[in-house]
A and B are shown apart, each in its own frame.
Chain A
């Protein structure tokens, strides 16, 4: 048996070594979420670290105690105490109800505070002017509209560094989720409504963006690059986009919204005004007069009212939740 056990141990050991090697090989990579490039992602990382530390207060002792108890009270250790009837202790139980309760209270307070602070619909405090980008999830590509500049892109975004960006999101396809891990957490893009997400890039660079919620066959192709540039480069890029021969018209949007397997990043010099709003309201139109009482408008207003309250108070009054 001793020999067999040793061979088991050896098998276990070599498997663990294999994993370690794998991890080291890939260890050079900076994990995106752990390497934030914007204020939102940075605060979300802080929260993760706080959570891990709070949890560790319980978990590390538990793992150590587990090991000690299992080792010490193994049947073959005849020196250890054996108290088969001992099954209750008010003091001990008070301790292990009490400590987790305290830790969870602390964590809950922190979480509630951060949940309000990091509410995605909340504008970021900054003395610089906000950039607005409207995002439409299509099968299987992302359409980005820059309403202030009148330009549009497919599967690529350029943003100025160090300026808050307000993303307004909808979908002309099944529900997706819009995620740029290095800049901050995701939000769903859903048809029939407009969501808001505020992010900012603190330094120039190219960041990975992706759809995070499965939308069907070629969902995996819904990735895009986010280029954060200096203000000057941003202006240059806008000019480049404005010079693009490609344009979006109402007809070409129809064509574009049909499912395609994958699309190259593309710039468009113009798009029909109000197209974002019309995409948002398109799924409402049959019940347009039902606005206030129709199930869609109502349910959605209830569910997203607070998320979008700011969105509502700003521009596009034609958007979906204007019902109330």
Chain B
């Protein structure tokens, strides 16, 4: 019996690598630490009532961002480990199989569990405030989306210590990811981790489309929406068309692995090329999903900090919509070398280039927003300006890659790696950082420390170029991705430089952590609610916003409503009369979100190990939750009385209103 348990445990837990034992120990210690702190300070009730069961978009947004920062740490550690191995491949810091796992988890974590939640975090915090709404359209669904993301992320991360990580690359091409070449449970973690969080992403996409279409304050026509809201709308629309493809693709892969089906296998009439097409039909729109909101952020910050209207609003909207549509017609540029023939390659090459046009137009419009402005340079604006050269150069290498015959020389090389890191970091990450610094005061009522923020900014930027510029060169010198050792001594210098850059970015991340921690303890409280002297509605209410956001729903007259309002007041005109405060209808907290997430986790874990005895009860729990919610939804709301609103407002605004 004991032998059996031992045998099971040695398969179940990942063993044999000191790095992983270290991770095991730190996970256990961190968990114990959290449990101890919560128990000692009697915070369990607070955590459950105020946070875990919340349906408040602002709190859900904060939870998304917190999770994304943790995942950024995890993905970043993966990156630093890879770079360490590649700087000195002879030292064998990582064995080949471990290296393969790490580049796989780095990609998956960064895209699915870092970029996506950071994006949804910003959506959640900003959109309802920006359009003058009290919450998203479906607050419970929003909570459920978060918990599905969280369950998926935890399931995926568990593979590090239990069962073994996936090792077939971040998109898990079959047949390599099929059971023939990958019999372990790692790929199952991949499938279910992404599948569960993907359902959450799809639900969020729907939620934000409905929110934006139906919940805008009176007077805010589509063409008066703030540009960030437009970007969320474009990204969400892209999500609802793209994510179903991902769900089905992973389902087919699961059927291959679990039921022995032959969708993508080598034998039995399977066709792996079909998977590659399908996954990129989702994958290419996905990169636009994560970059469009960054464009939205820049449109807000650039106008605010240049103290000028956004230039070419209509062009900006049109460009964004065009980008999200064309993004569905470029997927095959990820495999020009599959031999689809000259006509197919020509089509996808040209459709890819076309995207450069609206993107370029957006850059010009941002530049001319700053033209004849009064530009100040707090950290959100620094990130915005740093984005322009980074993205322009990344865009150029993107056009180079889109030229199909030339791509035959770039494909799968470090040139490609450098390109997509340059646009994903220079575009998405810089944009989300700009957004995070910009809206942080709205979330918490204080600004992040600017001094540490500037250190973080410079380290990120220097590290970024030092890391990725040499990768272009080493790619042109024939170095392919996903190798942990190389024989060519010419590559070593460039790889060492690249590694130094990665470490500088690692230091930059530590500066950011220090910045957040320092600012929590040492900050000046923002009493204005409009710390940047900004333009849109979210700045017209106190920071942090009260749970009901707007005591009275505002009336919108122009694109920069709050800016115009401030101008009116400066001219001595009276503020718009919005009418009296009325009782506010609010959704109640719900425990079903976290409980259903937990059931999904259990079901996912069972499916990973092919333990039906665990998977079936897990799924049953999911259905029971749905059932319970369907019959209790009508009880899930309440009203905040007028006097309570008045008291809150008086307190938040220091009695000014």
Interface residues of A (CB under 8 A from B): 4, 8, 11-12, 15-16, 18-19, 22-23, 25-26, 29, 31-34, 41, 43-45, 47-48, 51-52, 55-56, 58-59, 62-63, 65-66, 69-70, 73-75, 80-89, 92-93, 96-97, 100-101, 104, 107-108, 110-112, 114-121, 173-175, 177, 179, 181-182, 184-188, 190-192, 195-196, 208, 210-220, 223, 283, 286-287, 290, 294-296, 299-300, 303-308
Say which residue of B168, B409, B469, B483 sits within 8 Å of A44 (CB atoms).
Answer: B409
Quick one: CB contact mask for B335-367 with A, threshold 8 Å, 1 for yes?
101111111111001100110110011011101
Q: A15-B504, A33-B410 are in contact. List 20 more A-B contacts (CB 8 A).
A: A4-B451, A11-B458, A19-B465, A22-B500, A51-B400, A82-B373, A87-B309, A87-B313, A96-B361, A100-B357, A114-B403, A115-B404, A177-B411, A185-B405, A190-B272, A212-B412, A217-B97, A217-B167, A219-B100, A307-B339
Is B244 an interface residue when CB atoms closer than 8 A count as contact? no
Say which residue of B375, B478, B493 sits within 8 Å of A73 (CB atoms).
Answer: B375
Q: In the assembled complex, how far is the CB of residue A52 from the closest CB belonging to chain B, in whole angstroms?
A: 7
CB distance A86 to B458 under 8 Å?
no
Which residue in chain B gives the minimum CB-CB distance to A8? B458
Q: Given contacts A66-B389, A108-B353, A307-B341, are A188 and B335 in contact (CB under 8 A)? A: yes
Which A-B residue pairs are the 3 nearest by beta carbons? A185-B408, A306-B341, A307-B339
CB distance B407 to A73 under 8 Å?
no
CB distance A75 to B375 under 8 Å?
yes
CB distance A111 to B480 under 8 Å?
no
CB distance A26 to B494 under 8 Å?
yes
A75 to B372 alpha-carbon distance, docked (Å): 10
CB distance B371 to A73 under 8 Å?
yes
Q: In the assembled complex, how far is the CB of residue B580 from the closest CB belonging to chain A, in whole angstroms?
A: 34
CB distance B412 to A177 under 8 Å?
yes
A307 to B338 alpha-carbon distance, docked (Å): 9
Q: In the assembled complex, how far is the CB of residue A116 from the closest CB belonging to chain B, in whole angstroms?
A: 4
Residues of B contacting A117 in the complex (Cβ-Cβ under 8 angstroms): 405
Q: In the assembled complex, how far is the CB of residue B117 from the closest CB belonging to chain A, in whole angstroms?
A: 27
Within 8 A of A (CB), among B442-498: 451, 454-455, 458, 462, 465-466, 469-470, 473, 475-478, 480-488, 490-494, 496-497
CB distance A52 to B349 under 8 Å?
no
CB distance B403 to A107 under 8 Å?
yes
CB distance A307 to B340 under 8 Å?
yes
A18 to B345 alpha-carbon distance, docked (Å): 41
CB distance B337 to A187 under 8 Å?
yes
Q: Given contacts A96-B360, A192-B266, are A82 and B374 in contact (CB under 8 A)? A: yes
A112 to B348 alpha-carbon distance, docked (Å): 10
A83 to B392 alpha-carbon distance, docked (Å): 26
What are some 29 contacts across the A-B interface (CB < 8 A)? A15-B504, A19-B469, A22-B494, A62-B388, A66-B389, A74-B377, A75-B307, A83-B372, A84-B308, A86-B308, A92-B368, A107-B399, A115-B342, A115-B349, A119-B341, A177-B412, A181-B477, A184-B409, A187-B339, A190-B272, A191-B175, A208-B488, A214-B176, A216-B181, A217-B167, A299-B274, A304-B341, A306-B343, A308-B339
Is B637 an interface residue when CB atoms closer than 8 A count as contact? no
Q: In the assembled complex, how far is the CB of residue A74 from the closest CB belonging to chain B, in whole angstroms?
A: 5
A80 to B375 alpha-carbon distance, docked (Å): 11
Is B23 an interface residue when CB atoms closer than 8 A count as contact? no
Say which residue of A70, A210, A283 sits within 8 Å of B370 (CB atoms).
Answer: A70
Is B270 an interface residue when CB atoms closer than 8 A count as contact? yes
A86 to B632 alpha-carbon distance, docked (Å): 53
A217 to B104 alpha-carbon distance, docked (Å): 12
Chain B contributes a number of interface residues (CB within 8 A of A) equal to: 117
Say which residue of B400, B469, B470, B475 sits within 8 Å of A55 (CB atoms).
Answer: B400
Residues of B contacting A96 in the complex (Cβ-Cβ under 8 angstroms): 360-361, 364-365
Is B636 an interface residue when CB atoms closer than 8 A count as contact? no
Q: Given contacts A111-B349, A214-B482, are A16 and B269 in contact (CB under 8 A)? A: no
Say which residue of B167, B344, B370 sits within 8 Å of A69 (CB atoms).
Answer: B370
Q: Given contacts A62-B392, A82-B372, are A188 and B353 in contact (CB under 8 A)? A: no
Residues of B contacting A295 in the complex (Cβ-Cβ under 8 angstroms): 269-271
CB distance A97 to B478 under 8 Å?
no
Q: In the assembled complex, how far is the CB of residue B415 from the closest CB belonging to chain A, in whole angstroms?
A: 8
Which residue in chain A gives the minimum CB-CB distance to B501? A19
A212 to B385 alpha-carbon distance, docked (Å): 36
Residues of A contacting B174 in the complex (Cβ-Cβ under 8 angstroms): 174
Q: In the assembled complex, how far is the CB of residue B138 from the closest CB belonging to chain A, in whole angstroms?
A: 35
Which residue in chain A gives the minimum CB-CB distance to B472? A31
Which residue in chain A gives the minimum CB-CB distance to B100? A217
CB distance B176 to A62 under 8 Å?
no
A62 to B389 alpha-carbon distance, docked (Å): 9
A287 to B269 alpha-carbon distance, docked (Å): 7
Which residue in chain A gives the minimum CB-CB distance to B310? A87
Prevailing SS type, chain B contact patch: helix
CB distance A29 to B490 under 8 Å?
yes
CB distance A300 to B409 under 8 Å?
no
Within 8 A of A (CB), among B530-575: none
CB distance B470 to A303 under 8 Å?
no
Residues of A contacting B497 in the complex (Cβ-Cβ under 8 angstroms): 18-19, 22-23
CB distance A299 to B375 under 8 Å?
no
Q: In the assembled complex, how far is the CB of residue B453 from the closest CB belonging to chain A, in whole angstroms?
A: 12
Which residue in chain B gives the minimum CB-CB distance to A9? B458
Is B624 an interface residue when CB atoms closer than 8 A count as contact? no
CB distance B274 to A48 under 8 Å?
no
Is B393 an interface residue when CB atoms closer than 8 A count as contact? yes
CB distance A73 to B374 under 8 Å?
yes
CB distance A115 to B269 under 8 Å?
no
CB distance B268 to A286 under 8 Å?
yes
Say which residue of A26, A85, A87 sits within 8 Å of B493 (CB atoms).
Answer: A26
CB distance A59 to B343 under 8 Å?
no
Q: In the assembled complex, how far is the CB of residue B434 from the closest CB belonging to chain A, in whole angstroms?
A: 15
Q: Given contacts A8-B458, A26-B494, are A215 and B176 in contact (CB under 8 A)? A: yes
Residues of A contacting B393 in the complex (Cβ-Cβ under 8 angstroms): 59
Q: In the assembled complex, how far is the CB of residue A171 from the closest CB belonging to chain B, in whole angstroms?
A: 9
Residues of A contacting B369 in the complex (Cβ-Cβ under 8 angstroms): 87
A218 to B97 alpha-carbon distance, docked (Å): 8
Quick one: CB contact mask for B134-161 with A, threshold 8 Å, 1 for yes?
0000000000000000000000000000
CB distance A175 to B341 under 8 Å?
no
Quick one: CB contact mask for B183-209 with A, threshold 8 Å, 1 for yes?
000000000000000000000000000
Q: Given contacts A187-B337, A286-B268, are A87 and B312 in contact (CB under 8 A)? A: yes
Q: Given contacts A59-B392, A66-B389, A87-B309, are A12 and B271 in contact (CB under 8 A)? A: no
A101 to B465 alpha-carbon distance, docked (Å): 29
Residues of B contacting A290 in the complex (Cβ-Cβ under 8 angstroms): 269
Q: Given contacts A86-B309, A303-B339, are A33 and B488 in contact (CB under 8 A)? A: no
Residues of B contacting A110 in the complex (Cβ-Cβ under 8 angstroms): 403
Q: Given contacts A29-B490, A58-B360, are A70 and B375 in contact (CB under 8 A)? A: yes
Residues of A contacting B241 in the complex (Cβ-Cβ under 8 angstroms): none
CB distance B478 to A181 under 8 Å?
yes
Within 8 A of A (CB), among B253-280: 266-274
Quick one: CB contact mask for B307-335 with A, threshold 8 Å, 1 for yes?
11111110100000000000000000001
Q: Given contacts A63-B392, A96-B364, are A186 and B405 in contact (CB under 8 A)? A: no
Residues of B contacting A195 in the complex (Cβ-Cβ under 8 angstroms): 339
Residues of A contacting B490 in the complex (Cβ-Cβ under 8 angstroms): 26, 29
Q: In the assembled complex, how far is the CB of residue B466 from the closest CB belonging to chain A, in whole angstroms?
A: 5
Say which residue of B270, B342, B364, B500 sits within 8 Å of A18 (CB atoms).
Answer: B500
A250 to B131 alpha-carbon distance, docked (Å): 71
A87 to B100 alpha-carbon distance, docked (Å): 50
CB distance A306 to B340 under 8 Å?
yes
Residues of A contacting B476 in the complex (Cβ-Cβ under 8 angstroms): 31-34
A34 to B400 alpha-carbon distance, docked (Å): 14
